[in-house]
Chain A
Amino acid sequence: MKPTNNQFVANRAVFKNRFAFLTWIVAIVLSWFSAAVCLRAQETPTAAGAAEGEKMERQMWADFKAKDWKAVESKIAEGFQSIHPDGPRDRAGEIALIENLKLGEFTLSNFKSTVNGDNIVVTYMIAVQETIDQKRLPGKPAPRLSVWKKGTHGWQWICHANLNPIP
């Protein structure tokens, strides 16, 4: 049976409508996809930075334990400052303190990293067996804070706060 002229026009209209509908669907899917890509692009530096903060802090502790002073010193920025319960220290004072640490087992937990421009602020809890000048420090978990800054020579530790009491 041959299609009548009316059927042909009707089929063409349906096809046109279908095509318009499909175009509309594709446009919506593409807009969702591009929005997702944009959001992902915005999220990535923060998420990547956050993971980087925890990784750098864990590596620093591993370097302390391994007494890899070359690696430790290369990551501590000029102008670095720290505070400990007995007061502040500059870069040289912190290096002297670290090199006198006798680290046993340590457990890091509750990491939180936030990105601010080219800085990563990292907070966490640490339970550590430390001995400074033959004094055993309390092993109870205590908070820590570090800031890492991305510079031309890689990430640098610009400050650190240690809330573990030094007896």
Chain B
Amino acid sequence: MNSTTNDGEKMEKQMWEDIKAKNWKAVEGKIAEGFQSVHPDGARDRAGEISLIKNLNVGKIALSDLKSTTNGDNIVVTYMISAQETIDLERLPTKPAARLSVWKKTQNNWQWICHANLTPIP
């Protein structure tokens, strides 16, 4: 059964809060083994994504147009983000860009199994 849900929006916003607060224990606890992401510079595995996130300095963020759909025990979330982000002292473009995440429900919690980031990395 497929339906829209608010859980996806809630989890995605919480993930951004944890990244902004540099709460690495919470962040790492939610990233599944086998996680994969794509960014304009290519694909990353779990370790690569954690390393990228830990180098992010997130300022103000604005999430909009969030849409979540469920597929079995998965929630697919898409949204636009305008974020003040800095990686290695380089400021990333703040123009809104699309994101996609999939959350999978496990026995104990929700796990982030993939993420796509369309914000160009200079």
Contact = CB atoms under 8 A, between A and B. Distances in A.
Interface of A: 77-85, 87-88, 90, 110, 112, 114-119, 121, 123-125, 142-145, 147, 149, 151, 156, 158-159, 161, 163
B78 to A, nearest CB: 4
Given A147-B114, A149-B72, A159 B39 contact: no
Interface of B: 2-3, 32-40, 42-43, 45, 65, 67, 69-74, 76-80, 97-100, 102, 104, 106, 111, 113-114, 116, 118
Contacts of A110: 42-43
A112 B98 CA distance: 22
A80 B78 CA distance: 11
9 contacts: A79-B2, A82-B100, A85-B97, A88-B78, A88-B98, A117-B73, A123-B43, A151-B72, A161-B116
Contacts of A145: 36-38, 43, 100, 114, 116
A163 B116 contact: yes
A117 B76 CA distance: 15
